[in-house]
């Protein structure tokens, strides 16, 4: 029998996708790849969601890396045009190890244009996977999922409450907006300064290029003359 796996990520969209899937597939596995670099309130949110689902969430994690910082420091790389190594090491690799060829994979991509594109890219990159996107099928946007979670009496994750658009790790090196880094500096000054220090250590600077957050090599001779973009927002 094919197993249905909903990939829960501590966000409103994946929570709603899980709830919808359980209606038709009550034995679906709700599975979470923990990065150990997210806001501690995510544990509270997950506990609330488990009560909403009336079932537990299976947790996966990397056996090689402790968190995002460990990945960046070991691989000496933050992010580039092909994404970030933390995503691969902490989310993709644990998923590939755990999943079975016959699994049906449910992802919480919403009907918003960017998510529709991401869902298609996932299908293109993994043509062998059976992928379902119930939120797109139901034309539910991210705003819809936020309202549905709140309507269920569940307080949204703290990252949403303090102004972040997504409930990502702290910080997310794929972030493209200077406003994002300004909010990180305001809400998480220790993590912000740690990223500044790490970018110096790796001799990289962040910049934006056509909507992608990239980290490029600096000229070592000019290192003392520049600060990472994230330090100036």
For the segment 108-137, what is each residue's pLDDT rounded down to a tens digit?
999 999 999 999 999 999 999 999 999 999
Residue range 22-31: average pLDDT? 97
Q: Are 16 and 143 in contact (CB under 8 A)?
A: no
| Cβ–Cβ under 8 Å, residues 72 and 191 | no
Quote the pLDDT of residue 175.
87
Q: Is the pLDDT of residue 227 over 70?
A: no
Q: Is the pLDDT of residue 218 over 60?
A: no
Predicted confidence at residue 205, as pLDDT, reads 62
Domain with CATH 3.40.50.620 in the chain: 4-157
Do 49 and 206 meet the contact criterion of CB atoms below 8 Å apart? no
- At residue 203 the predicted structure's pLDDT band, cuts being 50, 70 and 90, is confident
CATH match of 4-157 with 3.10.20.440: no
How many Cα atoms occupy the beta-carbon half-sphere of 213 within 13 Å?
Answer: 20
143: CB partners within 8 A, 6+ apart: none
CB count, 10 Å around CB of 63?
8
Rounded Cα distance, 232 and 5, in Å:
42
Stretch 202-220: mean pLDDT? 51
Structure tokens at 164: 């972040």
């Amino acid at each position: 029998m094919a197993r249905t796996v909903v990939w829960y990520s501590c966000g409103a969209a994946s929570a709603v996708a899980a709830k919808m899937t359980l209606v038709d597939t009550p034995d679906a596995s709700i599975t979470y790849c923990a990065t150990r670099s997210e806001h501690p309130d995510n544990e509270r949110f997950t506990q609330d969601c488990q009560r909403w689902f009336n079932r537990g969430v299976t947790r996966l994690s990397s056996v090689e890396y402790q968190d995002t910082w460990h990945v960046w420091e070991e691989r000496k790389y933050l992010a580039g045009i092909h994404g970030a190594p933390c995503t691969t090491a902490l989310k993709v690799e644990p998923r590939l190890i755990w999943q079975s060829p016959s699994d049906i994979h449910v992802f919480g991509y919403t009907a918003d244009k960017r998510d529709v594109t991401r869902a298609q890219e996932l299908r293109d990159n993994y043509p062998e996977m059976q992928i379902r996107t119930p939120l797109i099928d139901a034309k539910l946007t991210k705003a819809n999922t936020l309202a549905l979670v709140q309507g269920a009496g569940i307080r949204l994750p703290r990252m949403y409450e303090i102004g972040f658009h997504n409930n990502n790790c702290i910080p997310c090196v794929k972030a493209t907006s200077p406003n994002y880094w300004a909010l990180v500096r305001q809400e998480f000054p220790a993590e912000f300064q740690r990223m500044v220090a790490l970018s110096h250590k790796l001799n990289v600077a962040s910049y934006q290029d056509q909507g992608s957050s990239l980290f490029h090599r600096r000229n070592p001779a000019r290192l003392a003359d520049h600060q990472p973009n994230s330090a100036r927002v």
